[in-house]
């Protein structure tokens, strides 16, 4: 098997199906990143399963030459949980979107994360419903004009990372469709994580929400508008690396090195902290007062759901034996009616 896996290439993970996303859609670059990372993981192809819900992003499994399940709206984490519980040796990746994963499937998302089911969840966030042609989503900015909100949305959006951290997720990261190498790095880290890995991918919808992330992704502003979270390194950003994030009392603040601060004053990023408080605070950083955090916010070790489930069953078998039907039927009070009608 290892000889076979060693020769897997990106091509091995491309299916025969014609990719049908809109030209220029951010999904293409995410697909390319996943197809690049999978062969690097040293896992036989038949062990990969990609499960999705409904939405543009959820067409993803058709384009992956692995096992794939394009399911129903919002339910991918629940279907994948049933699969992973019963087949823990499989590599189960879930593809979802901001509507699929945070609106109709929000309940499954939070419970999957709190249980720490060993699923890799990629949430494509384009802040709009694309497949249904342009309605507001749970991550659309307050006041946004869409087909379903011509006067502007009236509801406050979710911060996907905060939802994940609040749900107890053990791996939480954010990347962007236009940052190909970064995206691959995050996927690799997610693949290595035991338990739930939640990755939010800012993804541009060229038709219904074009340039939704331009303010942070355009080349000329990107360095100023984003801060890279790198394990063990201070949170420093800016084209000239002249700004940073420091913890001042109970609050984060942006400091300028021109004002006498330096990298040593900045928060040194550690995604492995058990306490999720700092990760939550960093997840809340957003324009206009803060750069947008990109990278791994949280990566802590905790036994996965399927592992606990399997151990519990094994313990029962070890202490009580595997049990046979004869015994099972006879549990409780039994009596025998003999051929002559007597009772014993």
Partner 1 sequence: MTASTTEPGAAAHREVELQKLDDVVIRFAGDSGDGMQLTGTQFTNTSALVGNDLATFPDFPAEIRAPAGTVAGVSAFQVRIADYDIHTPGDASDVLVAMNPASLKVSLRDLKPNGVLIVNADEFDERNVKKAGYETNPLEDGSLDQWRVFKVAITKLTHEALKDTGLDAKSQERCKNFFALGMIYWLFSRPLDATVQWLQEKFAKKPELADANLRVLKAGWNYCDINELFQVRYEVEPAKLPAGTYRNVVGNTALALGFVAASRRAKLPLFQGAYPITPASEVLHELSHLRRYGVTVYQAEDEIAAMAATVGAAYGGSLAVTVTSGPGMALKMEAIGLAIMTELPMVIVDVQRGGPSTGLPTKTEQADLFQAVFGRNSEGPVPVLAASSPADCFDCAVEACRIALKYMTPVILLSDGYLAFGSEPWRLPRPEDLPDLRVAHHTDPATFQPYRRDPVTLARPWAVPGTPGLEHRIGGLEKADGSGHVSYDALNHEKMVRLRAEKVERIVADVPDAVVEGAPEGRLLIVSWGSTAGATKGALRVARREGYDVSRVHLRWLNPFPKNFGEILSRFDTILVPEMNLGQLAFLIRGRYLREVVSFPKVQGKPYYRSEVLKKIRDILGEK
- Binding positions for partner 1, rule: CB under 8 A: 15, 17, 44-47, 49, 51-52, 54, 61-62, 64-72, 75, 78-87, 89-90, 107-108, 111, 309, 312-313, 316-317, 320-326, 328-339, 341, 343
Q: Of the two residues 163 and 252, which places its CB atom closer to partner 1 in the complex?
A: 163
Minimum CB distance to partner 1, residue 130 (Å): 17
Minimum CB distance to partner 1, residue 15 (Å): 7
Minimum CB distance to partner 1, residue 149 (Å): 26
Instruction: Please enumerate in sequence order all residues whose Cβ is within 8 A of that of 76, keeping only pairs 6 or more positions apart, or say none.
Output: 51, 52, 53, 58, 69, 94, 95, 96, 100, 101, 105, 108
Q: Where are the alpha helices (DSSP H) in 209-329?
A: 214-217, 219-225, 277-283, 305-320, 325-329
344's enclosing H/E stretch is none
Q: Of the two residues 17 and 272, which places its CB atom closer to partner 1 in the complex?
A: 17
Minimum CB distance to partner 1, residue 60 (Å): 10
Minimum CB distance to partner 1, residue 65 (Å): 6
Contacts 24+ apart (CB under 8 A), 232-240: 232/268, 232/269, 232/270, 233/268, 233/269, 234/263, 234/264, 234/266, 234/267, 234/268, 234/269, 235/266, 235/267, 235/268, 235/269, 235/282, 236/263, 236/266, 237/291
Minimum CB distance to partner 1, residue 19 (Å): 13
Q: Of the two residues 83 and 103, which places its CB atom closer to partner 1 in the complex?
A: 83
Q: Of the two residues 20 and 239, which places its CB atom closer to partner 1 in the complex?
A: 20
SS3 assignment, position 119? strand
User: What is the Cβ-side half-sphere exposure of residue 124, based on CA atoms within 13 angstroms?
Assistant: 31
Minimum CB distance to partner 1, residue 293 (Å): 29
Q: Of the two residues 12 and 224, which places its CB atom closer to partner 1 in the complex?
A: 12
Q: Of the two residues 50 and 285, which places its CB atom closer to partner 1 in the complex?
A: 50
Q: Of the two residues 272 and 314, which places its CB atom closer to partner 1 in the complex?
A: 314
Q: What angle is formed at CA 171 by the lines to CA 106 and CA 251, rounded to 5 degrees?
A: 90
Residue 126 to residue 130: CA distance in whole angstroms? 8
């Amino acid at each position: 098997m290892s000889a076979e896996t060693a020769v897997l290439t990106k091509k091995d993970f491309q299916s025969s199906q014609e990719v049908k996303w809109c030209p220029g859609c951010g999904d293409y670059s995410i697909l390319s990143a996943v197809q690049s990372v999978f062969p690097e993981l040293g896992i036989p192809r038949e062990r990969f399963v990609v499960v999705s819900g409904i939405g543009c992003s959820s067409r993803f499994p058709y384009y992956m030459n692995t096992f794939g399940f394009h399911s129903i709206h919002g339910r991918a984490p629940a279907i994948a949980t049933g699969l992973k519980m019963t087949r823990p040796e499989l590599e189960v990746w879930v593809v979802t979107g901001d509507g699929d994963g945070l609106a109709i499937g929000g309940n499954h998302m939070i419970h999957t994360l709190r249980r720490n089911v060993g699923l890799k969840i990629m949430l494509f966030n384009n802040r709009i419903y694309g497949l249904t042609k342009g309605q507001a989503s749970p991550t659309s900015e307050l006041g946004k004009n869409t087909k379903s909100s011509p006067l502007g949305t009236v509801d406050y959006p979710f911060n996907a990372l905060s939802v994940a951290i609040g749900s107890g997720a053990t791996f939480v990261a954010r990347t962007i469709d236009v940052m190909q190498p970064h995206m691959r790095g995050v996927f690799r880290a997610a693949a290595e994580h035991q338990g739930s890995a939640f990755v939010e991918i800012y993804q541009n919808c060229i038709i219904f929400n074009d340039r939704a992330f331009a303010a942070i992704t355009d080349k000329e502003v990107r360095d100023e508008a984003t801060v890279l979270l790198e394990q063990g390194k201070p949170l420093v950003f800016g084209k000239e690396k002249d700004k940073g994030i420091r913890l001042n009392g109970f609050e984060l603040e942006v400091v300028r090195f021109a004002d006498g601060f330096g990298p040593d004053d900045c928060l040194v990023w550690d995604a492995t902290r058990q306490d999720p408080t700092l990760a939550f605070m960093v997840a809340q950083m957003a324009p206009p007062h803060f750069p947008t955090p990109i990278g791994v916010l949280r990566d802590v070790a905790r036994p996965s759901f399927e592992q606990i489930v399997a151990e519990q069953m094994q313990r029962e078998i070890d202490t009580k034996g595997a049990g046979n039907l004869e015994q099972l039927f006879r549990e409780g009070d039994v009596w025998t009616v003999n051929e002559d009608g007597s009772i014993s």
